[in-house]
Structure 1
């Protein structure tokens, strides 16, 4: 303060004040003074008379902060260079990492001294399932009955095989090129033929007789206990047999069973006064070495003459 007052009031002989002389003297020594002393001197000159002391304190605090900031900036390392894309991982890292890097299983930078994560042992391979073997289909047998259509086309209903009886006496006509799976195994009683069935039969693929149209012939055997025996070969698949049969003043019994055993299926047909006929449908499944067995027998007669059962045709599909 004293120096500042003297600068404003005192002058020398040349007209310049003492304050001017003091400034000139300070200028001669300023270049060799430290940065901190020059800053404090400038701060002292800028303080007006009567300024609050808190400004002095604030200025000193600011000066200290600037000094620390300059020291920090001078010691801070430069930014880490960014590696261009495609540079292998690990480039630029300290030596000693390759052994760790080669065994790492986690993404991201490795830390020295860490052991690679231990992997659990691989589970044993699952056993290959053996191919499933389908169990053979169980035997099957069912029998149903209905009236015979007015005309039967054996070529259509017997796609695998068919047989017709009685066209010429007691002769038999089979399907040409058929499988031969229908077997006539005879039966009890003497066979005779007649021409007068209520239904007629036709075919276009016969063997001994190539074709026939609307024939009403068939064969019969008289007396209780007499009849016919047939067999059809099994194939392991479901098959359908249609048997066309009739009777005269009698009761007939149809029995179907499999050669592999099991219960038989029985149906009856009766007319005590005149003739009657029916289509018996047999659905069965039997192994290749087994057969369907069919018997058509006179169970009772209602005539003193010739109560009988008759046979016209059988078809397989």
Structure 2
């Protein structure tokens, strides 16, 4: 007869007791230590970064007083403002003539000076390709040396250069004057005219044409008055641009005279760039 063997279970497993927290304490401590390590590493990184900024100087964008080396040197403003060249229109600006005008430096496309060697003499850029042209001369026409400013040039023809001349040509009587033309292209152009008047009033008229059609709207005009026998001068800076090749036409006419002398307009120089 077989005898059954009794299996004994320890009392600790049979008794319902309080949670055995000691068994979970070890893993909890390990997790807590890991979290603390991560936090301490982040704090150390922030402290290091803050310390680095403290030595890096001012933040970008901060306003500081400039040193002597940083203070910009002011540049002189031109006597004539440079307005953008309009399309199929003309912008004209009148200003004083500088004491000395270097035509070869100013006229990158072409330049012209009148009257150095005689009534009909014309000194021009040897490489300008005759871009600036004068119309048929009309009487009366005289040479003068009345300009209060001087004109210089190099690379010219027939006079290769000049260190400073006050010459030009002039006319007398209402209705008399000069006509000029210069090319108009799709690129912006700047034409500078050096004009004068004595004992009267001069009228400047400008118009832009392409293909024989007036494309600049109404003729642009400007007036210059010169009293007495001295020569009153001005520089006209003319900006223009066309939608297709054409030309700009200039008339510089004695509108009226004053006094009994030879009142009229004078023509000295022109440059195109």
Normalised TM-score (structure 1): 0.56
Which of 245, 254, 276 in structure 1 is aligned with 2:232? 276
The 1-side partners of 2:250 and 2:101 are apart by 21
Counting only pairs closer than 5 Å after superposition, residues 222-237 of structure 1 correspond to structure 2 as 222-237=172-187
Which of 95, 110, 117 in structure 2 is aligned with 1:161? 110
| 1:241 equivalenced with 2:191 (yes/no) | yes
Whether the 8 Å contact between 1:186 and 1:230 is mirrored in structure 2 is: no
The secondary structure found in structure 1 opposite 2:228 is strand
Q: 1:194 to 1:240 in 2, by over 3 A?
A: same
Higher strand share: 2
Which of 82, 95, 101 in structure 2 is aligned with 1:146? 95
For 2:156, the equivalent position in structure 1 comes to 206
The secondary structure found in structure 2 opposite 1:306 is coil
For 1:51, the equivalent position in structure 2 comes to none
Which of 250, 268, 271 in structure 2 is aligned with 1:312? 268
Could you give the per-residue CA deviations for residues 268-294 of structure 1, whole angstroms, max 9, x where no partner exists?
A: 110232321111110111244311111
Counting only pairs closer than 5 Å after superposition, residues 13-28 of structure 1 correspond to structure 2 as none
The 2-side partners of 1:46 and 1:146 are apart by 131
For 1:264, the equivalent position in structure 2 comes to 219
Shift of 1:232: 0.7
Q: Which has the larger radius of gyration?
A: 1
Deviation above 4 Å: which 4+ runs of structure 1?
Answer: none
Whether the 8 Å contact between 1:223 and 1:306 is mirrored in structure 2 is: yes
| 1:302 equivalenced with 2:258 (yes/no) | yes
| 1:174 equivalenced with 2:124 (yes/no) | yes
Which of 285, 291, 306 in structure 1 is aligned with 2:247? 291
More relative contact order, 1 or 2 (CA 8 Å, 6+ apart): 2
The 1-side partners of 2:266 and 2:256 are apart by 14
Higher helix share: 1
Shift of 1:159: 1.2
Whether the 8 Å contact between 1:234 and 1:287 is mirrored in structure 2 is: no
The 2-side partners of 1:290 and 1:226 are apart by 26
Question: Gapped runs of 5+ residues in structure 2?
Answer: 6-85
The 1-side partners of 2:115 and 2:184 are apart by 27
The secondary structure found in structure 1 opposite 2:218 is coil
The secondary structure found in structure 2 opposite 1:273 is coil
Give the total of aligned pairs: 187
Counting only pairs closer than 5 Å after superposition, residues 35-74 of structure 1 correspond to structure 2 as 46=4
Could you give the per-residue CA deviations for residues 283-309 of structure 1, whole angstroms, max 9, x where no partner exists?
A: 111244311111110000002231110
Moved more, 258-267 or 204-213: 258-267
| 1:219 equivalenced with 2:169 (yes/no) | yes
Shift of 1:171: 0.4
Counting only pairs closer than 5 Å after superposition, residues 51-200 of structure 1 correspond to structure 2 as 138-169=87-118, 170-186=120-136, 188-200=138-150
Aligned alpha-carbon RMSD (Å): 1.9
The 1-side partners of 2:199 and 2:108 are apart by 33
The secondary structure found in structure 1 opposite 2:260 is coil
